[in-house]
Chains A and B, each alone.
Chain A
Amino acid sequence: MIAQFEVLAPKTIQEALQLISGNPRAKILAGGTDVITGFHQGSSRFIDTTTLIDINHIPEMHAITETDSHIVIGAGTPFTHIVENPGVIKYFPLLAESCSVIGSLQIRNRATIGGNFINNAPCADSVPALLVYEAKIRIQSAISDREMPLADFLVKPYKTQLKPDEIVTEVILTKFDDGYKGNFYKLGRRRGVAISRLTIAVFGKVENDIITDIRIASGAVTPIGMRIAELEQKLIGKPANDDSLKEAAIELGKIILEKTGIRWSAPYKLPVMQQVCYQQLHTLVFGKE
């Protein structure tokens, strides 16, 4: 059941920032795919919301711009645009892939990248890819303008560093050199419209049979999407052979068990996370069959 609320539709970021400042009962409406379902469920996150500020009429909020060194994605860009963007496909293929398996086509036409990580559900599918790419975000308010790594922004499930008067305006991605490769895997119960049981993104570089850089981020199986720094540290400098990958996968299981404790799903998810991690690292190092 949805109570009555007011919807405002600013045309510029400045206007939106003015509207949200000093109105703690206002929330941003992007694709609405979390907001509206949240209203329906009577979610505590939206219980006090009386005003929605619709950012869909602000062109900068859904623009994707590319320079030599960066791709900047407006936080209000729907997934469909990201998935189809040639620059994203070329330079950030894991992001394109992870966004392409979100919900259904209809959901992807509405749901935005900003909404995904601001909602910060454990199963937000774009997050692991953004984390291995070390995405930064730009956060603006009427009186401030700051940038921070996405990893720092995400605090705990459904909680970020966003302040009530702030809007996330951009996702900033820095291009990598050619030596990097990566993989993303989403495991859902079915193929269409699947909430992730677990996701993993791996991204790294192998030089002379040595793993010289590696980034591993998980989603759904950890409380929020996160990089597994302790595991990355252990792998960097290791020979790129089957044994080190197996050790790493098992280590990941131990780390996650430590982070989450034994949840009802653990008998399934923990072993499977190790399998999937091993397979993704294997493919990264040895290539696809």
Chain B
Amino acid sequence: MKKFNVVGKPVTRQDAYEKATGTALYADDYTFPGMLYGVMVRVPASHAIIDRIDYSAVAGNPAVTAIVDHNDIPAQKKVGPIKQDQPIFSWEKIVTPGDVVAMLVGQNETELLQLRDKVSVEFTALPVLTDPLKSMDPDAPRIHPQYENNAIVHYPLRKGDPEKGFAESDYIIEQTYTTQFIEHGYIEPEAVIAIPLGKAKGVKILGSIQNPHTTRKVVALVLGLPLTKVRVVQAEMGGSFGGKDDQMNILSARAAVAAVKTNRPVKIRFNREESILESYKRHPYHMHYKVGFTNEGKLKSMRIHITADGGAYASMSPFVTWRTVVQATGPYEVENVFTDVHAVYTNNPYTGAMRGFGSPQPIFAQEQIMDEIALKLGMSPLQIREINGFKTGSVTASGQKLDNHEVNLSTVINKAVEETNFVEKWQKNQKDNADVAKQLNFANDSEANQFILTKDQLIAPDKTWRKGIGLAASYRGCSLGAEGIDVTSAYLSVQLDGSAYLLCGLAENGQGLRTTFCIVAAEILGLTVDKIFYLEQDTAIAPDSGPTVASRSTLMGGGAVRNAAETIRERMVRSVADEWKVSADSITFANNTVSSSENNKSVTFADACGITYKHKENLATIGFYQAPEVSWEEETGQGSAYFTYVYGCQIAEITVNIATGQVYVEKVTAVHDPGTVLNLQGALGQVYGGVTQGVGYGIWEEISVHNGKIREMNLDQYLLPTSKEIDDITAIFIEGKDEHGAWGAKSLGEPTLELGAAAVANAIQNATGTRFYHNPINLEEILLNRKLYPEDLKRGSL
């Protein structure tokens, strides 16, 4: 392997100082002269026809500079990445409580917040559809009457002959798993400012925006402007996790419409409640798995039916569920597969992109099934995965042969297993905790309550804490795959003093992309990282590089930055070789100097830039990177879905209090193969954050809905894991070889999140001898095998 100077070494984040000292500027930190605020007007309904909106109670009020609604939209009124079903301002119908019919615009936000309830909206309530499994019933309420039914998308995958596979199986397991809505929980709620620049220049948007180029497209469509007249600049981001895409496009469009109407800057900022109310969530999945396998533990056949609750709008559902159909069988060889993944409309909060993107749900199901199979056959979770796990040359469910990269599934699993002494602990727990299942012994009737215990049900203190260890493994397709066009560009401009500007079309969302890209450029140009100055994200400067999603920035952006830096380096080599009359091969770049081994000459990098300039070579360039070909056959779900994959394994070690259902997570060991690790600090950060979010998914986090309305409207009820929840996270990287991106650096962000809930669920089984099928496995789930919710949405403390 190549010896690196900067790559893989701990490097301080470029934004660390400003963020740690509180001087970093987030969208809400900006104000502009004459700036107004926009405040949303909503309707207290989940599904209703809007009959009439009466603004008379607020229209003349001096606090209200303008009232903005759909009538003010110059061009397109509804938007969406695939289906244009989401109105910027609703005018026909309300399809979920987050919907907005109008915006009050004025200088004093506090007054507007008091006035908004005075807008009177007359509406006719419609039946509310909350159960996605009923969405396709013939008599189900139609969410969007312009479509034939409530289907958003259906992906089939057909491989081999599943029925024959079941016939050849010695055992068949059938099981249903469910997962919940998840809120992204970015620490900074939504904020955006639209600044009108006059007829000739259009509008500028400054905000907490995940994908500035997508926002630009949406705002341009809504205003009917060319892309060049909508300039989107990204403020410092206080988290996104996939959540500041559609939501921010729509808020930006609202602000822009108001800015154009009033000819003044307009800011929209949400508090936590409003953020939770309107923003999209991670999809709840209903997953039915039927799996056939032999006495020897070989998987023969899988039949999978998945329904994803898309909520009120299609948003990213077609992309999210596509990843699900590709990966639903897990990193295992299965000859015969029949998978149907559906996404449907309901009146629930809409669902879209969230870190993981269609993988945490099937992993929750399928990694538990692997353990169930092991238990059934008296094998260990390790053995069953050894028998079926992908190896080099394995063929995936979509018929793709894995042969262009190191297939490191068994390496990551074995490493995690050795590191934790997994098999021994798992077997011991399985024996020690065999008595717990009897203790939990759920009533068949899920509503039957036993309020008063009997003496033999009381658990002595020394029997109450049970250890569990659980494993989950996954493979994950890198970048967009056959979902979309996969190209990126990066702008690099080296200055004559040897410093350089860098900017890629992908956006810094807190993941540390600026630092990683600087590392790539610094490595190639032999610079220290501090010489490279990463510019602020601005659609007027950076070329559109597709969205910053799918754990693709290091891979795709790294490729583009590498390409740009190599181009500049070649030009410099040419010039310096010419100047010194030495061969190009003899020139090296390191420690901010450029040297030749032929004449033993060295100059500073800055001087080498001077030489290049003198030779009339351009020191600026736009690098480009293009993903290799991928393919997908819609009818059969066959094809080379992604051009490369990564592998990961996480092991959770927990203690369960079987008297109370409390789960303490003591340690998570995370072994990942992200390809080459470019930014060590960044990679560790991804693991710590992803593991924590994954465990949060498995135990605490849940948005529940009551008639389409969210119960957990703030972070006192929506329980994110705190820094105290996991005692220890151990991160280990296996750097598998790959030819793509920058030195084979692939993906890590999402792989770290997708495994936690499944590993915890398997650990809970190990601790309790009991399998739980419904995420999150919280206190009530463990003791009662169901969830409990308050009857109304009111808080006691009011």
Q: Give CA–CA (A265, B788) in the complex, Å.
A: 7
Nearest 9 interchain pairs by C-beta: A192-B722, A192-B724, A275-B659, A267-B449, A191-B724, A246-B455, A270-B451, A278-B458, A279-B461
Cα separation A158 to B798 with both chains bound (whole Å)? 9
Residue of A nearest to B459 (CB): A275
The verdict on B56 contacting chain A, using a C-beta distance below 8 Å, is no
Knowing A41-B798, A265-B788 are in contact, say whether A189-B779 is a contact too (CB < 8 A).
yes
Give the contact stretch, choosing among B16-24, B540-548, B789-797.
B789-797
Q: Are A190 and B700 in contact (CB under 8 A)?
A: yes
Residues of B within 8 A of A197 (CB): 779
- Cβ < 8 Å to A, chain B residues 717-740: 719, 721-725
Query: Which B residue sits closest to A278, measured CB to CB?
Result: B458
Across the interface, do B452 and A41 meet the contact criterion of CB distance under 8 Å? Answer: no
Shortest distance between the CB of B33 and any CB in chain A (Å): 25
What is the chain A residue whose CB lies nearest that of B727?
A191
Q: Does A211 contact B (CB under 8 A)?
A: no
- Which residues does chain A contribute within 8 Å of B795, judged by CB atoms? 41
Min C-beta distance of A283 to chain B, whole Å: 5
List the B side residues contacting A42 at CB < 8 Å.
798
Within 8 A of A (CB), among B751-798: 778-780, 783-784, 788-791, 795-798
What are 30 inter-chain pairs, A to B, with CB distance below 8 A?
A1-B110, A1-B113, A37-B797, A42-B798, A43-B797, A121-B797, A157-B796, A158-B797, A189-B779, A190-B722, A192-B722, A192-B725, A249-B453, A250-B455, A253-B453, A254-B452, A257-B451, A264-B790, A266-B449, A267-B780, A267-B788, A268-B779, A268-B784, A271-B450, A271-B451, A271-B453, A272-B661, A274-B452, A279-B460, A288-B461
Once the chains are docked, how many angstroms separate the CA of A214 from the CA of B664?
31
Contact A191/B661 with A1-B113, A270-B451 known, Cβ cut-off 8 Å: no
Q: How far in angstroms is the closest Cβ of chain A from B112?
A: 11
Given A1-B110, A189-B719, 14 more A-B residue pairs with CB atoms under 8 Å apart are A157-B796, A189-B700, A190-B721, A193-B722, A197-B779, A243-B455, A250-B453, A265-B788, A267-B449, A270-B451, A272-B660, A272-B783, A275-B459, A279-B659
Give the CA-CA distance A267 to B452 in the complex, in Å: 9
- How far is the CB of A165 from the nearest CB of chain B, in Å? 24
A69 adjacent to chain B (CB < 8 Å): no
Contacts of A271 in B (CB 8 A): 450-453, 457, 783
By a beta-carbon cutoff of 8 Å, the part of chain B in contact with chain A is 110, 113-114, 449-455, 457-462, 464, 659-662, 664, 699-700, 716, 719, 721-725, 778-780, 783-784, 788-791, 795-798
Provide the bound-state CA to CA distance between A30 and B236, in Å. Answer: 35
| Most chain A beta carbons < 10 A, residue from B113, B455, B783 | B455
A289 CB–B CB distance under 8 Å: yes
Interface majority SS on B: helix, strand, loop or mixed? loop
How far apart are the CA atoms of A38 and B722 in the complex, in Å? 23
Q: Give Cα A288–Cα B455 distance, bound, in whole angstroms.
A: 21
Contact A264 B798 (CB under 8 A): no
Q: Check if B791 sits within 8 Å of A264, measured CB to CB.
A: yes
Distance of B269 from chain A, by nearest CB (Å): 13
* Residues 87-110 (chain A) with a chain B CB within 8 angstroms: 104
Query: Which chain B positions have C-beta within 8 A of A121?
Result: 796-797
- Find chain A residues with CB under 8 A from B719 CB: 189-190
Q: Name the residue on B nearest A279 (C-beta).
A: B461
1/0 contact string of A2-29 vs chain B (CB within 8 Å): 0000000000000000000000000000
Instruction: Specify which chain B residues have a CB less than 8 angstroms from the CB of A270 in the assembled complex.
Output: 451-452
Q: How far is the CA of A197 from the CA of B790 in the complex (A)?
A: 13
Q: Mark A114-138, 1 if CB is under 8 A from B, else 0.
A: 0000000110000000000000000
Do A257 and B722 form a contact, CB below 8 Å, given A246-B458, A249-B458, A264-B789?
no
Q: Is A276 an interface residue (CB 8 A)?
A: yes
CB distance from B334 to the nearest CB of A (A): 37
In-complex Cβ contact of B659 among A43, A158, A276, A289 (8 A): A276
Q: B449 touching A104 by the CB < 8 A rule? A: no
Q: Are A262 and B451 in contact (CB under 8 A)?
A: yes
Given contacts A264-B789, A264-B790, contact A274 B449 (CB under 8 A): no
What is the CA–CA distance of A250 and B450 in the complex, to the nearest angstrom? 12
Instruction: Say yes or no: is A236 at the interface (Cβ < 8 Å to chain B).
Output: no
Contact A282 B460 (CB under 8 A): yes
Contacts of A242 in B (CB 8 A): 460
Q: Which residues from chain A contact B464 at a C-beta distance below 8 Å?
A: 275, 279
Q: Are B797 and A38 in contact (CB under 8 A)?
A: yes
- Are B659 and A272 touching (Cβ within 8 A)? yes
Q: Decide if A189 touches B460 in the complex (CB within 8 Å).
A: no
A44 within 8 A of B: yes
Min Cβ gap B658→A in Å is 9
Distance in Å: Cβ of B711 to nearest Cβ of chain A: 11
Is A231 close to B, CB under 8 A? no
Q: Closest Cβ of chain A: how far from B788's Cβ, in Å?
A: 6
Residues of B within 8 A of A64 (CB): none
For the complex, give the distance between the alpha carbons of A282 and B659 in Å: 14
